[in-house]
Each structure stands twice: as C-alpha cells, then as structure tokens.
Chain A
C-alpha cells in the first residue's frame, strides 16, 4: 500500500456542517419540507407473550382526521418474513411487550396519537420469561457470535493452570442492560408514488435500502434512502428496525403523500435495540511475577426469542494479553424480550469490563502496579489468530497516560486518601478496538465547475464525515482541501458500507483514495469539466491482526458518608493510527469516554420481570451523564502511523473511547474506598453497603 502524502489529513479543520448544526437548520429525517404529510403513530402490545385476539378500531376510525388504521388483519403481506423483527403486522403473535401490533395514520400527529390510544385490544396471554440468570437450564451455544466469530475458543488447559498456579482469581462481573438512546429519536418519513423515497435516520442509507427492498420485494432501483444528517445512533440506527417497515406500509396506504413516523423516546426502549446484560465469569492464573498462565472468560447473555443477536463479549479477551492457557465461551438465553442489537463497541465495551477489573484485582493480590502487570503480559503476536500486529502501542498509551495523569506518585493502598468528606482514588484500564475495513464501498470523483466532488452514500453521525472525507480526497488528489466537496447520505450516490464497527473512515476513505488514483490515471492533473472516475475499497489482506489500543485513567471521589461518586478527571491516551482531523477526533474520543462514564455510574435499563418492560423507559429515569456529572475530560493520542491498515494509515476511533472507561472508574472507586463493585453501574448503595464507617 503506498502511503498518502498528508497535507490536509491531520489538519484541525472546522466541521463543514457546523454552521447548519449550530443554527438547527441541518435537516434530519423528520425535517424535510414536504407539503402536507400524514402522521403515523404506533400501537404496541401490552403483554409480553401471547396472541392478539381482537382489535376494535371502530372508535379510532370515527375520529375526525384519521386516515386509516393498520393492523395484522389489513396490513400488506411482506415479501420476506425471514427476519422476525421486521415481519411486522404479519401475524397475531406477540413475542415481547411493546411489540408493534398496529398503527394509525392521520392528518396530524395529535390525532394519530390520540386515535392510537382508543384502539381496544384483547389478548390470549401466555406466561412470559424475561429473567436472565447464569444457571438457567436452557442456556444455549449460538452458532456464531456477532458478526461472524467463533462462539468458543480454547487453547491449552485453563483448569490445570488454575489448579497449579501460585496466584489465581475467579470472579463474576456483570454489566447492565443499556439503551443506545441517540438524541434524535428514530424517525422515518416515507413517500410512495410507485417507487419509494425514505428520509430515514440511519447509519447507512444503502444497507437500509437493501433491507427494505428485500422485506417488500422491491427492486433496489425502486427505493431511494436519504439521510444527510443523523442525530446520533451508536449502533441502534445501524439496521432498520420494525417501525421503518411500518412507515413504508403507511406510505403505501397513502400513495402520493409522505408519512412521518417518529418514535417517542419511550417507544425506543422497546423497538430500537439495546445492549444485552452480560454475566462474565472471569478466571486468571499467574506466577508471582504477574505473568499470566491462564485467562478465561465465560459469558452468559440474552437474546430475544424471535431473533438472535449474540454479543461478542469474549472477543477482547482472545487478543488482549499473553497466556499459554486460554478460553472464551458464550451462552445465550432466548427470552421474551425486545431484540438486542449493536451499541457502541458491541463486544469490546462490555467485554473489557470484567477482564480489566479482574486485572486490577490481580495486581492488588500480587502487590504489583496495574500498569506494570499489563506490560508484563504484552503478547508479541495476536494470541487469537497467531498473526503479527499491524501495530500495537498499548504500552506507549499506558506510559504516556501515566505521565500525563501523574500516576507515578500513586500510593497503591486502597481507601487511605481522605480530603474533607471525600475519599479519593485513581484507576486505570486498557482499551482495544479492532480496525475493520468493510468489503464493499465505492466512491465517485468528478471535476465539476473547477471543483473536485466526491460522492459516496456514507453517513455522518456526528463523526465528522462531511469534513474528513474531503481531507482524504484532497491528499489523494494532491489538491487543496478547500477545492473539494463531499456529497453523502443518499442512495443516489455510490454504495457505502454502514457506519459501524468504527469502519467508516477506513472503508470510505480507501474507496476515495482508489477513486482519486483512477481519476489521475485517466485525466492527469488538468481535467475537463465533467471528468469522472470511480474507485472501490479492496478487502484487507488478512496478514495482520489490526487493532487500535488505548488506556483510560480516572480520578474518583467518593463521599465518605453518602457514598456519592464523582469523577473530576478522565484522561485517555489512544494509539489509533493517523488522526485525520484532530478536532473531530478529540470529540469522538471524549464523547466515547463520557458515554463510558455514564455507563459506569448512571445507566441501567431495569426490566420488570412481572410485565417484561423496561420500567425506567425515559430520560427522567434512565439516567445518562449530564453536564454537571462530567469534569475534566482529556483525550490524547500517540503519533502512530500504521502502513498496513489502509492508505491513510488510520484506524477507527468512534468506539474505543468507551471501551475501558467503566473498568477504570470501578478501579478508581476501589482505590478510593477499598470497596470492589463488580456489578455495573457503580451506584452509591453498592459502595455504601461495604464502606466501613470511620
């Protein structure tokens, strides 16, 4: 791979879409000017399992302004019902509470919502089961874990190493159920006039199109999906959920008239996916110097009865540290619950919680600094694949972080620093995230009115794509970045992979570099107006194990009397290849760390076993970090250029910020108080219960 000479790459450039965003005029999926749209409001099941035996829509139909009511009785039959989550209104079966059982289409949003509430539903209810536990008899081994990794791995003999090693640790850690909760609710505006146009809040217009085309049996050419701006997604907008299907049904019921369907915040807790809770049994065996003899992680998690999603929680343990004996397993319970999905760093985020807290505990047992323990177990090649690292600078991150954070003066003793009423401690954890490059993406480069225009159906979730793609194109063409425009977020532009797995820049950027090469080969440096070339990404060679690494450092203060936890300082150092735009990159890193802090201290979806719903299904009760919860958050990176990952030498950065953060918080709380909380979130009741009064 020939390296790009970087002039625009690496520059701190303002967001190109910034002005639209600070004035609120960037059009999100609900916001296009569309004449007189109709509005759609969903009707949801109020039981967690059973059948709908009747829906009386008479009073709803009679309300002035109601256009029609869709139910399983009158909704169109879908061409493909293979994906049960999307087979909406196709049968009377209810598989989880909150499932869509109907929809009202009306002249205004008020009428639609009011009418939806008047529909009388009767059910044949069956007993449901929504409780995940580690000892369920029906836990099963999925065929693969997300997206296509082996379910279990084993090397050597962990049991023998546990029996013979001088120092061992065996603990269970749990992470909660979390909801992505992007700030912009999931929304689809759909217009059917023989072909379909969807303004959908999505992380991938092309993937949304292919899913909808398959479900309805449309040709791709019949479907256009538009989404220039996304109000966050964090995975939940990575693939269409059931409401998108309903929006299209609604549009087809009102041909020629656009229909708007915006989920309410509450509905999102049932319908747009979430991160499964995980139960992580962790085993470590080590010699007295801290060299690991064994590392094992056995994970239990949930999926829904109608669709499997197997979070790859054991993945980071497969690669992170050296140990001759190793094992990871995943077992699932299929419950009467909504369908789980991707949430920021699926696998790595929950999967670095147990292991990174366990390492902190092992360091304490050994009387070794937790950074030193990690350094001693640095693997020379990827323990999972046996392949060499394309680059691995975890140690550099740990060392630089230690330096910046002031780790050297740290007294390792837990629970001994008191300032006034506050117990003070610090903690560290490592992070990892794979560097993916998707197999399919194409960019077009055109010379248009003396400017270079890149077109690709990519997405900007706040990640900076509008700004960073021109930076890559400028360097690939050898022109000034101000002479390059980007056009994204529309299936009228060439196919682009979904913005997921932190793969956007690597994938789309690679396609742009290829397009620029083709353009220069064809037209030289003096192109004519309208000259155009195309380029596509090529799959990775598979020669190297490719990952970004990082380390998070946390200062925690715990109130000695109340157990209240504050985090005044959060510092991350990352090794993520070349940084395309330091401004947008810093925002991604601090955003990820802030979400990790939120996961550590605040977030938890509480599922009521009696009714099968998340009781805290709004922002009053599902707490995410607010401004006052967040202190000094710093992101730094080491100067890394990785020639093997892609032509830019860059790795994805959207997810790694969250990965180790929760473990670092827990480790800092332990250092402050001596209390080890192994179940997220770390709330004051859990700390207070073990805090010895003094």
Chain B
C-alpha cells in the first residue's frame, strides 16, 4: 500500500508516494539517496540514524515515513551552511571525536538536538536538583548523549567536543 506525502529534507522539498511500511530512515536512504543518517540497528537501539525532525532529535529508524507528512527533516549533511561546517560538526573534527565515522552523523544531530533541549531547561537523569544553574559538565553531556553508541569508543573525545561546541554556540 502506498500513501502520498510531502517532506522537506535538508532544505529541499519532496513530494512522493511511499510504501506505508517504509521508515523515515529507509525513505531518506533508499528513496532519496540521503545517506547521511546511518542504519546501525534499525531498532532504535544505537542512535546512528538520528536526524532532526522539526528541530527535535529523533530516531529515523523508529519513525514511519507516513507519520511525518509535512515535517522538516535535517540530517548531519544539512547542518552545514554555505560550505561551513556546523559548530558541533567542526568540534567533532577538531577533537577527533570519531574513528570509523559511522555513528558520527547521528552523534552530531543528537548533540545539536540535545544542546537545544538543555538550553530550554530540560533536565536529564544526571541533573542535580534543585538545578538553579545547571552546568553542561561531563556527566550531563555523557548522560544526554548515551542514546548514541560508538563502537570505536570515541566517547572520551565526544564529550569535550560537545562541550566545546556548546561554548561556541552560546558564549556566556
């Protein structure tokens, strides 16, 4: 069975008919050739497929494409602007916060979404109450980034990369 839908991906509009069983991840990768989000498990267990849907981080493998008609999807590729890397991507590069790179686009989208959640005052399991002025310390970042597995074990570089990017994006 097919259903029609419209979608904006990395700033480009698409209108297409999709198999109702198709996930957003497969739509991006197999129909649109947008390979930036990766498939690591297809079960919502690894975070490699993380994209931003209407500004929020989401697992594209757990999203049915037809449920996102009219959505705006941004992948790690779409975060770059006018040839300049997004500050989070740049920080990943500067901190060598990856090896094989397969988890990386998901990590970066996740970090972008997470920094926004943090800025809006969303707590995490690592937040100590009362959190009058929560700090983006190691434990906060590590907790909030724990939905993104990295088998290459780059966590010790990922946390400082995210902190660094946060500092640059919102200079205090």
Listed in ascending order, the chain A residues whose CB lies under 8 Å from chain B are: 14-15, 17-28, 30-31, 33, 108-110, 114, 181-185, 229-232, 234, 262, 264-265, 461-464, 583-584, 586-588, 590-595, 598, 618-620, 624-634
Contacts and interface: CB of A to CB of B under 8 A. Distances in A.
Contacts of A25: 35-36, 77
B30 A24 contact: no
Given A21-B104, A583-B96, 15 more contacts: A14-B93, A15-B96, A18-B93, A22-B93, A114-B21, A181-B151, A182-B100, A184-B38, A232-B102, A265-B42, A584-B99, A619-B43, A619-B149, A627-B150, A634-B156
A592 B42 CA distance: 26
26 contacts: A14-B94, A17-B101, A18-B96, A19-B85, A20-B101, A22-B85, A23-B36, A26-B101, A28-B35, A109-B26, A109-B30, A182-B100, A185-B40, A265-B42, A265-B45, A586-B96, A595-B153, A619-B41, A619-B45, A619-B46, A624-B149, A627-B159, A628-B126, A628-B142, A629-B146, A634-B156
B148 A462 contact: no
B155 A625 contact: yes
Contacts of B157: 587, 590
A232 B151 contact: yes
A22 B108 contact: yes
A104 to B, nearest CB: 15
Nearest to A230: B100
Contact of B92 (A22, A183, A234, A265): A22
Contact of B156 (A110, A262, A594, A619): A594
B38 A231 contact: yes
B156 A632 contact: yes
Interface in B143-172: 143, 145-159
Given A591-B152, A620-B45, A232 B100 contact: yes
Nearest to B22: A110
Contact of B102 (A231, A618, A630): A231
Interface string B83-94: 001000110111
Residue of A15, A588, A595, A628 contacting most chain B CB atoms (<10 Å): A628
Contacts, number: 191
B75 A24 contact: yes
A94 B81 CA distance: 53
A588 B99 CA distance: 8
Contact of B105 (A15, A24, A632): A24
Contact of A627 (B46, B94, B101, B155): B155
A37 to B, nearest CB: 9
Contact of B153 (A20, A230, A591): A591
A386 B152 CA distance: 36
A21 B146 contact: no
- By Cβ-Cβ distance, the 3 closest A-B pairs, closest first, are A594-B153, A462-B99, A24-B36
Interface in B106-164: 108, 126, 138-139, 141-143, 145-159
B31 to A, nearest CB: 9
B33 interface: yes
A587 B85 CA distance: 22
Contact of A628 (B38, B42, B76, B139): B139
Interface-centre pick from B21, B85, B153 (highest chain A CB count, 10 A): B153
Query: Which residue, A26, A232, A588, has most C-beta atoms of chain B within 10 A?
Result: A232
A290 B24 CA distance: 62
A461 B149 CA distance: 17
A109 B159 CA distance: 36
Contacts of B80: 23
How many of chain B's residues touch chain A, expressed as a range?
A: 35 or more
Of A22, A588, A625, which is in contact with the most chain B CB atoms at under 10 Å from its CB?
Answer: A22
A108 B30 contact: yes
B59 interface: no
A348 B93 CA distance: 32
Contacts of A464: 99
B28 to A, nearest CB: 11
Contact of B143 (A19, A114, A181, A628): A628
B100 A462 contact: yes
B142 to A, nearest CB: 4
B57 interface: no
B48 interface: yes
Residue among A110, A231, A595, A631 having the largest count of chain B Cβ atoms under 10 Å: A231
A587 B154 contact: yes
B120 to A, nearest CB: 21
A637 to B, nearest CB: 16
A661 B60 CA distance: 35
Given A26-B101, A463-B99, A592 B153 contact: yes
A598 B102 CA distance: 19
Contacts of B139: 628
Given A265-B40, A619-B43, A19 B93 contact: yes
Given A184-B102, A587-B96, A627-B146, A23 B41 contact: no
A232 B152 contact: yes
B137 to A, nearest CB: 12
B152 A627 contact: no
Contacts of A583: 96
A623 to B, nearest CB: 10
A234 B151 contact: yes
A20 B149 CA distance: 20
A265 B154 contact: no
A231 B142 contact: no
Nearest to A181: B151
A25 B77 CA distance: 7
A28 B102 contact: yes
A264 B43 CA distance: 10
B103 interface: yes
Contacts of B150: 183, 627
A584 B99 CA distance: 8
B75 A183 contact: no
A264 B101 contact: no
A624 B151 contact: yes
Nearest to B126: A628
Contacts of A625: 153, 155
A602 to B, nearest CB: 11
Given A15-B96, A182-B151, A265 B38 contact: no
B19 interface: yes
A232 B99 contact: yes
Contacts of A23: 36, 76-77, 79-80, 85, 89, 105
A183 B153 CA distance: 11
A581 to B, nearest CB: 10
A338 B170 CA distance: 51
